[in-house]
Structure 1
Amino acid sequence: MEEQFEGSRERSKQRHCLVVALSDEQYAAAEAWRSANGIEDPSEALGELVRLGLLSEIARIYRHV
């Protein structure tokens, strides 16, 4: 599988399944992001959004330290 995101690290082979409840607005935003980034699998898109959000939070925290 070709890497679609610049700077992404090799994904772990182990996957965990979570059930996530999204509002209509959150779902529409996630689907728009998925489509704009050419990702076919919604689970892959949500996983990448979580990864990006975590990296953003880590960066924000370290700017204040």
Structure 2
Amino acid sequence: MPIISNILPRYTQLNTIIAEVSHRQSIEFAQQQFVVDFYTQFNTIQAFEAMLIDLTMQTELECFPYN
């Protein structure tokens, strides 16, 4: 199960690549490799949903440890 601290930097990089590609109207090979690798790892929304649910549960436990 991926954890949020591992995925956020990669997700930020993905957003940067998307912005650059949109501006340039072309994609470099290394950028394309990154996008494909990212998609391959998280090709279903369930992976993101599971990660977000896990993060929410951890945050709630940290905020309300005695519930």
After TM superposition, the score normalised by the length of structure 1 is: 0.37
Larger radius of gyration: 2
In terms of fraction of residues, the more helix-rich structure is: 2
Structure number with greater CO (CA < 8 Å, separation at least 6) is 2
